Amino acid sequence: MNALDRRMPCSSPCRHPSPATHRTARAVQRIGRLLCWSLAAGMTTAAADLLLEPQTPWWGAVWPLPWYLTGLSLPAWAILRIREKATQHPPDEEHLPDNWDQAA
């Protein structure tokens, strides 16, 4: 609602995203979280490897795993993000709010 208690033009029912768009947005969000957490885990394990120098036999195989996950999730996130952006359409001229017509 605006100051005059009217509905803005962008609240029309034709502007609601489709279920496919919603699924894509959720997938982008989940892959983005996976990317961030795997990057954080990769930095943490790299710092632990550098500072603590663990000598256990399994450490050499475990500490690069978050980096592999980061390498796999980055292209997946990028592809899904491009797909999400492609499904979004710019607003039509008739659906723009009135205050967008004024210059700044």
pTM of the model: 0.67
Per-residue pLDDT reduced to its tens digit, 6-54: 555 544 445 566 777 888 999 999 999 999 999 999 999 999 999 999 9
Neighbours of 81 (CB within 10 A): 16
pLDDT at 88: 81
> What is the distance between the alpha carbons of residues 73 and 43, in angstroms, rounded to a whole number?
16
> Hey, CA dihedral for 79, 80, 81, 86, is it positive or negative?
positive
pLDDT at 77: 96
3: pLDDT confidence band, cut at 50, 70 and 90? Answer: low
Q: Give which of 18, 3, 35, 37 is closest to 84, Cα–Cα.
A: 18
Neighbours of 38 (CB within 10 A): 20
Q: Taking a C-beta distance cutoff of 8 angstroms, is the pair 83, 24 a contact?
A: yes
